[in-house]
Copies of this chain bind each other. A is one copy, B any other.
Amino acid sequence: MNKKIVVIGGSAAGPKAASRARRLDENAEITIIQKSTDLSMASCGYPYYVGGFFDDRNQLLCSPAGVVRDPKFFFNAKGIIAKVNTEVTAIDRATKSVICVNLSTRERESITYDKLIVATGSTPRLPAVPGANLKGITSLQTMQDADFLRKIRDDKKVKRAVVIGGGLIGIETCEALQLAGIEITVIELLPQLLMFLDIEMAKLVENHVKSKKARVITDNGLIEFIGTNGELTGIKLKSGEEIPCELAVVAIGVTPNINLAREAGLVVGVAGGIAVDSHMQTSDPDIYAVGDCIETVNLVTGTKVFAPYGDLANLQGRVAGENAILDNKASFPGTFQTGICKVFDFSAGSTGLSEKAAKIAGFNVETVINASPDKPGFMNGKLLVTKLVVNKADGKILGAQCVGPGDVSKQIAIWAMALKGKLTVDDMTNADLPYAPPFSLAIDHSIATAHIMQNKLRGFMRGISASEVQQKITAKEPLFILDARGPDEYETMRLGIGEKLIPLGALRKRLGELPTDKNAQIICLCKISLRGYEAACALKALGWTNVRVMEGGIMAWPFAREK
């Protein structure tokens, strides 16, 4: 008897599972049941379609060879039956069957399975505020949402839009709409954008978004959608402010679609997703679950997390597809919650734990911020700002964040692999990465970050973050802030926080200008704080006891500058 595999969900994880199952068993009867009319949509590409990075909608639905992945494609190329526009209404575990209904014809059907793979995805959360059913409010989750927003771009009628939520999709949507010439405001309830970043890193991104003429409002929530004649005309914030707009895109996260699974009696986990083991097996051994509807393991903390990422969905799909055929040979161990997004000319990425997350998880951490270019200046190197978080006791890497116009993606990939290899800072100080001037500095930015961290862990360098410096200034603590750059640099750009310019090259001759109190608080900095570090080393050796280096220097300063 041929094995019967049924897959609920045809977006990302589902088709991957079905395809993997087919390649491992030519004779299996494989059926995908998809509620939408589309299959295998590249949904992570929607913001770029809306933003006009490309114009052919079919590219979101095509195989790399340019064939639209419709039911005919699945049947002919893969021998897979794909029932689209069809909703599964129940899983009957007793009879090992699913009940589904064709949404056009309303015909009902029962399909039996030997192994069932649940890939029901997630649903955008909507704010529970008045006016949520006005026209002009959307999310960006479905192909239809993408079509709607792309039409708005092409029609050029909407002048003002708000994006509710400053996470990944919110920021991507902000860029897309801004590129469409729409005046855009991003509203975030929390004090910062992109919660996978620590706040001082997020503020660098926020500054960049603002430099693109998009308005960003943090720490302020939506309380009402305002409309006339059923059409959105504005929003109202907790602060009382009203912002006129004809379009609101809601991007405040998604919730896993677990109802079918729960109604069938499958165990739902602590993080709110369907519970699965590393084989993607649910509490019913004949049922696997994958993608946005499940919860998985954070590999740093060991805790269960909801991690609705497109790449993980594909990896999980591959594992479930194999296990449905070959009885649990394959495993998906979990995630470092690695993520990245493009933010205009910046990228912002993260892997593992932020400082905030690491502290919540109970780690005693050390952190460092490194600002330096990805490549030499003569090869048009661009700035990267990395924050590295490690376990203080043994230097084990816990996470890294990186933002800036430079090659963030490579940096995050490097740190994600460092996490995968359970590496320490000492390991990373001698990483052997591909070097040539078109690609990196002789000491790659990631390795330099490890060097600075090693210097901190070993007590060679005492660092201080820009935020702490700012707090000290606000608290009017007596500080001697030493800017170790050259006069030309100081003329072009400076913080204006009371710093004293003493170029590193003149420092040893101008010690008389330093505080006579050897215990005075001294903060050394420069553009990226390498010269600041060298100045601090010298001062420490010369007897000053309370010298710190402002990490990342001026390039990582997230607050206003004098010039």
Interface residues of A (CB under 8 A from B): 12, 22-27, 42, 44-45, 48-49, 53-54, 56, 59-60, 62, 64-65, 67, 73, 76-79, 168, 172, 299, 309-315, 318-319, 331-333, 335-342, 347, 349, 351, 372-373, 376-379, 407-410, 412-414, 416-423, 427, 429-440, 442-444, 447, 451, 460, 485-486, 489, 504-506, 508, 526-528, 530-531, 533-534, 537-538, 540-542
Closest chain B CB from A49 CB (angstroms) = 7
Chain B positions within 8 Å of A347 at CB level = 438-439
Cα distance, A267 to B490, chains bound together (Å): 50
Verify A59–B23 contact, CB threshold 8 A.
Answer: no
Contact sample, A vs B, 23 pairs, CB 8 Å cutoff:
A22-B534, A23-B534, A27-B541, A45-B437, A48-B379, A59-B376, A59-B378, A78-B534, A314-B443, A315-B429, A318-B429, A318-B451, A331-B430, A337-B432, A338-B434, A340-B439, A342-B438, A342-B439, A349-B434, A351-B434, A409-B440, A416-B431, A417-B420
Verify B505–A44 contact, CB threshold 8 A.
Answer: no
Contact of A378 among B27, B45, B540 (CB under 8 A): B45
Chain B positions within 8 Å of A506 at CB level = 76
Closest chain B CB from A75 CB (angstroms) = 8
Verify A311–B433 contact, CB threshold 8 A.
Answer: yes
Verify A79–B508 contact, CB threshold 8 A.
Answer: yes
Nearest B residue (CB) for A299: B432
Chain B positions within 8 Å of A435 at CB level = 44, 309-311, 338-340
> Given A347-B439, A412-B434, 4 more contacts at CB 8 Å?
A23-B460, A64-B530, A311-B433, A332-B430
Cα distance, A378 to B336, chains bound together (Å): 27
Which 10 A-B residue pairs are closest in the complex by CB-CB distance?
A: A421-B421, A26-B541, A417-B417, A76-B505, A340-B434, A311-B435, A59-B378, A409-B439, A412-B434, A410-B410
Verify B67–A486 contact, CB threshold 8 A.
Answer: yes
Cα distance, A287 to B54, chains bound together (Å): 60
Chain B positions within 8 Å of A451 at CB level = 318
Contact of A421 among B339, B423, B533 (CB under 8 A): B423
Chain B positions within 8 Å of A56 at CB level = 378
Verify A431–B443 contact, CB threshold 8 A.
Answer: no
Cα distance, A504 to B379, chains bound together (Å): 45
Contact of A436 among B65, B340, B438 (CB under 8 A): B340
Chain B positions within 8 Å of A309 at CB level = 435
Contact of A413 among B12, B351, B413, B419 (CB under 8 A): B413
Verify B436–A420 contact, CB threshold 8 A.
Answer: no
Closest chain B CB from A326 CB (angstroms) = 9
Closest chain B CB from A444 CB (angstroms) = 7
Given A64-B373, A310-B442, A318-B451; A351-B432 close (CB under 8 Å): yes
Verify B414–A434 contact, CB threshold 8 A.
Answer: no
Cα distance, A442 to B317, chains bound together (Å): 12
